[in-house]
Amino acid sequence: MRTAVKKGLDNLASSVRDAVDSAKDSLNKPSVTTVKKNLDEPPMIDPVKFKKFLLTLLKILVIVELFSAFSQGIFSKSWGRFGIDLIGAGILYVMWDRIRVIVRDRKDEYKRKMETATDKVKIWDALIFSLLWSDEIYSDIPLDRRRLVVISFTLIALGLAAAFIGIGSGLMPFVISGALVLAAVNLLAWVVSLEREQKESLQTELKLAHDVQVALMPKERPKVPGYDISGMSLPAREVGGDHFDYSCLGNDSGRFGISVFDVSGKGMQAAMSAVFTSGAFASEVKQCADPSAVLTHLNTSVYTHSKRGHFVAFLLAVIDVQSKNFAFSNAGQMKPLLRSNGSVRWLDSRGVHFPLGMQESTLYKEEIVQLRPGDVIFLLTDGFTEAMNNRGELYGDDRIEQVVGRLDASGMTADELLNAITVNVREYIGDAPQHDDMTMVVVKVL
């Protein structure tokens, strides 16, 4: 008992010394600092030190209380207080140490529960979330709101102190402490509502961008004689940088084009870049007859109108409907995956593979592959191969090759092939969040 008390006092003393040192640094500044100014503008807090101070103080209080109750039990032979305190200390221990150990592997799961919760939030889930994510909760508080949070904690501390000291008589200590705590709760509620209002505004903007991006993607499967084609895009957030589309090169209905591209970044900026790239591509594809020429001209537009450091990985494939020639040009995108006669291989292209926008003058080349009935081509972004499970392990190129090789392509439609791969990837990542946009187009030769 003495060792535990001594260790706790040492920890508390260390925390107090840190606070005193911070106060000395503040007083040594050239500007004149007053007590009133410190109360009006409380200092910024270090979340880690602040939590350490509170936990150490709580442990000291618990140890002192247990020691006092134990001493009272020895002298008065009444062990009721000690028993109640022991039960309370056990509950606190389970709440902090044991809960963290028991549900440590479910940390992200509880975060998702809180993020997606609406009206129904269980007290148990909220308790575990607050314990598991305490460091992140403090660090996520915006800098311009932290002073208000510090004031709230200060008011709560003053309220507890008022109740403990017993300012006034009768119910007055409870009235004073209640008023201070109520003021703190109101202030915290205002901070939360302000953040929620800003978040809802941002979500509205993201939804509008999402609607624009979705509107630019194909809503129906294309009808191309001799081919079964299906495509889909799953953004990691409300909006993403992946995009796919269908077109006819040079207004020639016999040359069917498929574009799959991935804009660097995520969120609103990536979505706007995707919208711009889609519009520029729609203009270039009408003027050029070859995929290499389209990407060469498109690269100039992307380089001119994009910020430096923002690129577009673009794959353009063109199918000659009659001859079944598959011509493609690749600007930093995933290689097309071909399944033919039961074998699976990645298709390489010639020339440079720089993403669009990396260099101003880039001349892209194309590769041509002869397709046969029964062949299937998969055009995908790295959101599939780089999907990660809870252990941080990638899905990988080899695994998607194996899955494609095992599929009964002859008896499945393009839509069924796409869904089978998507389901396999989702089963692999399990409860892990989707880290990147996932886009794929499947072309089956009939």
CA distance 38 to 250: 70
Check residue 318 and give its pLDDT: 94
Alpha helices (H) along 94-165? 99-102, 107-116, 123-132, 134-139, 143-165
The radius of gyration of the chain from alpha carbons, rounded to an integer in Å, stands at 31
pLDDT of 377 reads 97
Degrees to nearest 5, angle at CA 143 with 138 and 146: 55
pTM of the model: 0.59
Q: What is the pLDDT, as a whole number, of residue 198?
A: 65
Phi-psi region of 102 (alpha: psi -120 to 50; beta: other; left: phi over 0): alpha
Contacts of residue 355, Cβ cutoff 8 Å, sequence gap at least 6: 264, 311, 312, 313, 314, 331, 332, 333
Residue 261: CA count within 13 A, CB half-sphere? 33
Contact 412, 378 (CB under 8 A): no
Cα separation of 316 and 285, whole Å? 10
What is the DSSP annotation of 28-89? TSSS---HHHHHHSPPP--HHHHHHHHHHHHHHHHHHHHHHHHHHHHHH---HHHHHHHHHH
* Residue 256 · residue 290 · CB < 8 Å: no
| Cα–Cα distance, 92 to 54 (Å, whole number) | 14
The C-alpha torsion from 321 through 324 and 326 to 327, rounded to 10°, is -70
User: Could you tell me where the beta strands, DSSP code E, fall in 200-254?
Assistant: 227-234, 242-248
Which value, to the nearest 10 degrees, does the dihedral of the CA atoms of residues 108, 385, 303, 354 take? 140
**296 class by beta-carbon count within 10 Å (0-12 exposed, 13-18 middle, 19+ buried):** buried
Give, in order, the Cα–Cα distances in Å from 314 to each of 100, 155, 215, 247, 291: 45, 56, 20, 15, 11
Residue 111: the pLDDT is 75
What stretches in the chain show pLDDT beneath 50?
A: 1-2, 4-5, 8-9, 12, 15-16, 19-20, 22-24, 26-35, 39
Nearest to 376 by CA among 335, 417, 430: 417
248 closest CA partner among 222, 227, 216, 229: 222
The candidate with the shortest Cα–Cα distance to 247, out of 293, 296, 289, is 289
| Whole-Å CA distances, 27 to 30, 43, 311 | 8, 12, 50
Q: Which of 390, 115, 379, 396 is nearest to 237 (CA)?
A: 115
pLDDT of residue 54: 67
Confidence at residue 352, expressed as pLDDT on a 0 to 100 scale: 82
Structure-token match 């080899």, residue found:
398
